[in-house]
Structure 1
């Protein structure tokens, strides 16, 4: 009986030692701390600034006049975006009627919204001016070509504008001579538009 117990004790001790030996492995640890996340930015700059830009202030227009101007649109943020044109609004004024404006039906109620100048002057063209030279060239995309008073209020163009990139939007206004020119005498109009830079084409 004593031999049996001694043998059993020996087996248990040896077994315990073997289990302890199998739990010893190489190990190593590395850390990853201080992970930071910073939001990028979309920031559209027009003609070098972030405030309202008045590109055209034209006086003494007449048949045969041509006025050209270019907006420089730059993405000064860190995220690529897409350009659209929104909130385009043309507001006309009759500014009273002169004697040569024979046949102008709005002369009986001259004032805001009654002018004809926006229907005589053509916006030909409003286009993406790739070389920013003010003239339409090969491969340059026209946004609008028609009378100022008929332009749409929104254009979802989705024109890519990468971070740091600049694109030029040029407008050419022409008053071609026509039979109704006298109706625009003394009239005026204002043109407002908003350039929007969005992260995706769905915005």
Structure 2
């Protein structure tokens, strides 16, 4: 065999060896595992049950100065998350039956007392008028903050807290005839806030 053929044969053999080595780099042991994770958000859900018609906290007619009306209502945490605060927003509209209120506000004459039962005694934890309650800053309207001076654990999921509210049509000892026949529609909105986030 000539030297040229020997060289050509050697080069071809070397090229084949290199290609086999290069091809071998793609052959290796392998193991693949797929892990599926998930995030599910909890629910923040409260409802309020009252004692009057249609589950209203209060529904009363024919009131006069000096009348008081005591009603119970319950905050129910029916969600899966704990609640840290429940803010109360109060709004009302007055229907002036005779058009003679002359700027007098019926809501200013309705006193509201929030009461809790403590060791078989009742304790007023917050007192205001409908007018003032409807214009208070939100930080002053945390119902859970009023109950026994606040609850560090808030309202746990699937638990309830009960409150008593006493309304009074205040008799101010003056002529209140302008309110005869008037009506007041009260809307309370309960806004539940979550507790702080935790490590899971």
Bin of the TM-score, shorter chain as denominator length: 0.5 to 0.7
Partner residue in 1 for 2:111? 122
Partner residue in 2 for 1:69? 71
Matched, 1:57 2:98: no
> Aligned partners of 1:161, 1:130: CA distance in 2, in Å?
17
Instruction: In structure 2, list runs of 5 or more residues that go unmatched.
Output: 1-32, 145-153
Q: Are the counterparts in 2 of residues 85 and 155 from structure 1 also a CA contact under 8 Å?
A: yes
> Aligned partners of 1:180, 1:116: CA distance in 2, in Å?
14
Q: Deviation at 1:122?
A: 1.4
TM-score in terms of structure 1 length: 0.59
TM-score in terms of structure 2 length: 0.60
Q: Are the counterparts in 2 of residues 78 and 164 from structure 1 also a CA contact under 8 Å?
A: yes
Q: Are the counterparts in 2 of residues 88 and 153 from structure 1 also a CA contact under 8 Å?
A: no
Matched, 1:186 2:169: no
Deviations 1:5-31 (A, max 9, x none): xxxxxxxxxxxxxxxxxxxxxxxxxx9
2:70 partner SS? strand
Shift in alpha-carbon separation, 1:65–1:87, aligned structure 2, 3 A: same
> Aligned partners of 1:167, 1:186: CA distance in 2, in Å?
35
Structure 1 or 2: larger helix share? 2
Q: Deviation at 1:146?
A: 2.7
Deviations 1:33-58 (A, max 9, x none): 5654432221112229xxx8422111
How many correspondences in the alignment? 148
> Aligned partners of 2:174, 2:167: CA distance in 1, in Å?
19
> Aligned partners of 2:110, 2:89: CA distance in 1, in Å?
20
Instruction: In structure 1, list runs of 5 or more residues that go unmatched.
Output: 1-30, 98-103, 107-113
Q: Deviation at 1:105?
A: 5.8
Q: Deviation at 1:32?
A: 9.6
Partner residue in 1 for 2:164? 170
- Aligned-pair Cα RMSD in Å: 3.3
